[in-house]
Amino acid sequence: MLPTITVDHKKCLDPLNCGKCLQICPTHVLGLGTKVGPRKFKEIDKDQFIVAGVRFEKCTGCMDCVSTCPQSAIQVSF
């Protein structure tokens, strides 16, 4: 079963420096990237970085990302 993972980008403001959810996810489901498409590797403004679900099939539903997020920006539902 695949989860729906939503990250509220209005609350998650600095994922490039925070990254707590990326570090805690036991199966590395979440990804850090940018809103600006293929320019993701370039030296761009940190404000352009966002987190989103990528490898949904590995999500166990443990909710560690939800509880670790200091901004309560992540929601996971099945």
69 binds another protein (CB under 8 A): no
d(CA 7, CA 31): 11
Binds another protein (CB under 8 A): choice among 6, 8, 11, 31: 31
User: Is residue 40 involved in binding another protein (CB under 8 A)?
Assistant: yes
Work out whether 22 is an interface residue with another protein (CB under 8 A): yes
| Footprint of another protein (CB under 8 A) | 1-2, 15-19, 22-23, 27-28, 31-38, 40-44, 50-52, 54-58
